[in-house]
Amino acid sequence: MNTMPRRPMCATCLRPAATCICRWAAPVASAAEVLILQHPMEVANAKGSARLLHLCLPGSRIEVGEQFDDGALRAMLGRDGRQPVLLYPDTPGDRSLGIAPPPAYDAALAPHQVQLVVLDATWRKSRKMLYLNPLLQAMPRLPLRDTPPSHYLIRKAHAPDQLSTLEATCYALAQLEGDAYRYDRVIAAFDGFVAQQQAQAARSGRPS
Q: Which of 108, 68, 66 is nearest to 85 (CA)?
A: 108
Residue 167 lies in a domain: yes
What crossing angle do the helices spanning 165-177 and 184-204 adopt, rounded to 10°? 170
CA distance 31 to 56: 13
Under a CB-based contact definition with an 8 Å cutoff, are residues 59 and 93 in contact?
A: no
pLDDT in tens, 31-50: 999 999 999 999 988 888 99
Residue 171 lies in a domain: yes
Residue 3 lies in a domain: no
Q: Which 3 state secondary structure label does DSSP give 119?
A: strand
How many structural domains is the chain composed of? 1
CB-based contacts of 101: which residues, under 8 Å, 6+ apart?
A: 90, 94, 95
* 95 phi, psi to nearest 5 deg: -65, -35
DSSP label of 194: H
Whole-number pLDDT of residue 158: 46
pTM above 0.85, yes or no: yes
Residue 5 lies in a domain: no
Residue 138 lies in a domain: yes
Structural domain boundaries enclosing 53 = 28-91+108-203
